[in-house]
Amino acid sequence: MSDLQPFKLTATTISQKVRGGEWSVRDVANFYIERTERYSRDLNTHLFWDPADVLAQAKVQEARLKAKEDLPLAGVPVLIKDNICTRSIPTTCASKMLAGFRPPYDATVIARLRQAGAIVFGKSNCDEFAMGSSNEHSAFGPVLNPWNRAYVPGGSSGGSAAAVAADLVPVALGSDTGGSIRQPASFCGIAGLKPTYGRVSRYGLVAYSSSLDQIGPMARSTEDLALLLDVLSGHDPMDATSRVDPYPNVASSLGGPVALKGLRLGLVREFFGPGLADGTRAALLAAVKLMQEHGALVEEVSLPTLSHSISSYYLIAAAEASANLARFDGIRYGHRTARNGLSLKQLVKASRSEGFGREVKQRIMLGTFALSAGYYDAYYAKAKAGRSLIAADFAKAFGQVDVLVAPNAPSVAFRLGEKSQDPLSMYLGDICTLGVNLAGLPALSVPCGFDPTGLPIGLQLIAPAWEDALLLRAAHAYEQLCPWTKQAQPPL
């Protein structure tokens, strides 16, 4: 169909045109099947997808449309990060440990997407068990950044980010434990939202760090982020941390630049120091100036305890990971060693040691150490103290301003291999995103320009807990003034 053009479609448009009868679900599916076949292998974005299954789903959704069901995501293809369970479709967390695993159930977010008329378009590559910031820790090889294939796409939701950036799907799901939606969205020039902790069910998300993990949407527009958030939000009896209160519709509340009038923006002073790359600083300050010209009130705020976020995060996340990943034992599911003659204990050890990659083992070891007798008070308890202070600092800042402004990373995407041999240097790059997870806040990245080498830059906005709608209205207002994704496309 002639009006199905690469980089012109959004989930919002697709849903409207499909519901209006202008496009069929099948035509949209075929358009994206062709793009995925052409580009996904080179970029290494997909771990599993099945065109026959996509077309079978299209048929089901067409029938539901004919039956006049209300489908807010009618015919919208959604790529799913491979740490989210999809019934009968392989879910590996990009790990040898789960090679061949087919979950017996859909995660709640998948059930909600299907119910809303979406097409589950496949599973995206990511860092193993979502542990990484570059997508180089996948057992199935790194994802390449579509803007420059010598660079990382960010992580851990790198496959989802790169696929949306290359328009292999209009939208995708990622998960964000310490920045894993926002940083790859920023590195790939798309929008990505980490909702407030508790807004989106984690049932069926393979747990990494349960007090930090949150599923969220990735898209090429904030309007699409809102459309997906409305479908994903809501209480789930299967997740004890999901909030019961209902949420008003966000997509219909997005206004234009008028949302900036009187909006109090706070520049987080600690993130604009000498460690921030010049190109990133210039793009962020230009975005802030533009918002100021349209009525936003800008001031600096200080969150001094953010200096503790890397230490607190890596201890808490590793501690929770060491407990969560204890379930992988080679007995009930997942990889089992082929070695014979082992005792039960030896079998579990051998299976885990063969199945997990280096970074996962490292974090399990760090977490086990931090929780072990004699070290708990010195490490884990102190990390919790850091977390409390950071949450208090954010609360204080939100007494002064409505939305905080920050980078997503100290620089644009880095070269493949540049940091992969030095875990601490990789961790240090996460400084701009970790505090949000420790405090359970909503935050997003929206494109705000390119550095001199042509790599994208993202603007991070952060709001108080449960103010996801305010966050999206602010980002949408900026996007209306400066729609970067409409102005430039990656060179495929």
Partner 1 sequence: MIDAALVQKVAGLASLELSEAEATYAVKNLARILDFVAELESLPEPAPSAADEGIGGFSRLERDDLAQPSLEPETAMANAPAREGTAFQVPRIID
**Cα distance between residue 340 and residue 218, in whole Å:** 45
353 binds partner 1 (CB under 8 A): yes
| Closest CA relative to residue 196, chosen from 394, 478, 432, 463 | 463
299: β partners: 266
Count the neighbouring beta carbons within 10 Å of the beta carbon of residue 152. Answer: 29
**Cα distance between residue 371 and residue 369, in whole Å:** 5
- Provide the minimum distance between the beta carbon of 395 and partner 1 in the complex, in angstroms, as a whole number: 9
Residue from 1, 60, 258, 365 in contact with partner 1 (CB under 8 A)? 365
E strand or H helix at 77 = strand 77-81
> Which residues inside 220-259 make contact with partner 1, applying CB under 8 A?
237, 240-241, 243-245
Question: Taking a C-beta distance cutoff of 8 angstroms, is the pair 56, 63 a contact?
Answer: no
Q: 61-82 burial string, b = 16+ CB within 10 Å, else e? A: bbebbeeeeebbbbbbbbbbbb
- Provide the minimum distance between the beta carbon of 135 and partner 1 in the complex, in angstroms, as a whole number: 20
Q: Measured from the CB atom, is 190 or 370 closer to partner 1?
A: 370
SS3 173: strand
Residue from 277, 336, 397, 418 in contact with partner 1 (CB under 8 A)? 336
423 binds partner 1 (CB under 8 A): yes
210 binds partner 1 (CB under 8 A): no
Q: Which of 15, 134, 138, 156 is catalytic?
A: 156
Asked about 180 being catalytic, the answer comes back as yes
Q: Measured from the CB atom, is 294 or 363 closer to partner 1?
A: 363
> Which residues inside 264-323 make contact with partner 1, applying CB under 8 A?
307-308, 310-312, 314-315, 322
E strand or H helix at 216 = strand 215-219
461, with CB counted inside 10 A (0-12, 13-18, 19+), is buried
- Provide the minimum distance between the beta carbon of 24 and partner 1 in the complex, in angstroms, as a whole number: 34
Residue from 169, 431, 439, 444 in contact with partner 1 (CB under 8 A)? 439
Q: Measured from the CB atom, is 68 or 345 closer to partner 1?
A: 345
Asked about 81 being catalytic, the answer comes back as yes
> Which residues inside 128-167 make contact with partner 1, applying CB under 8 A?
none
**Cα distance between residue 284 and residue 271, in whole Å:** 11
SS3 297: strand
- Provide the minimum distance between the beta carbon of 423 and partner 1 in the complex, in angstroms, as a whole number: 5
**Alpha carbon 311 to chain centroid distance?**
22
Helical residues (DSSP H) of 47-190, grouped into ranges: 51-66, 108-115, 158-165, 182-188
Residue from 20, 21, 424, 452 in contact with partner 1 (CB under 8 A)? 424
Q: Measured from the CB atom, is 186 or 233 closer to partner 1?
A: 233
> Which residues inside 55-114 make contact with partner 1, applying CB under 8 A?
100-102, 104-105
Asked about 156 being catalytic, the answer comes back as yes
Residue appearing with tokens 């975005």 = 287
Question: Taking a C-beta distance cutoff of 8 angstroms, is the pair 30, 4 a contact?
Answer: no
Scanning 151-159, 179-187, 266-274, 435-443 for contacts with partner 1 by CB under 8 A, the matching segment is 435-443
Per-residue binding string, partner 1, 368-407, x by CB under 8 A, is: xx--x-----xx-xxxxxxxxx-x----------------
Q: Measured from the CB atom, is 82 or 224 closer to partner 1?
A: 82
Q: Measured from the CB atom, is 63 or 99 closer to partner 1?
A: 99
Q: Measured from the CB atom, is 281 or 384 closer to partner 1?
A: 384
Query: Nearest 10 degrees: CA dihedral of 334, 338, 339, 344?
Result: 30
Tell me, what DSSP letter sits at residue 84?
B
The set of catalytic residues is: 81, 156, 180
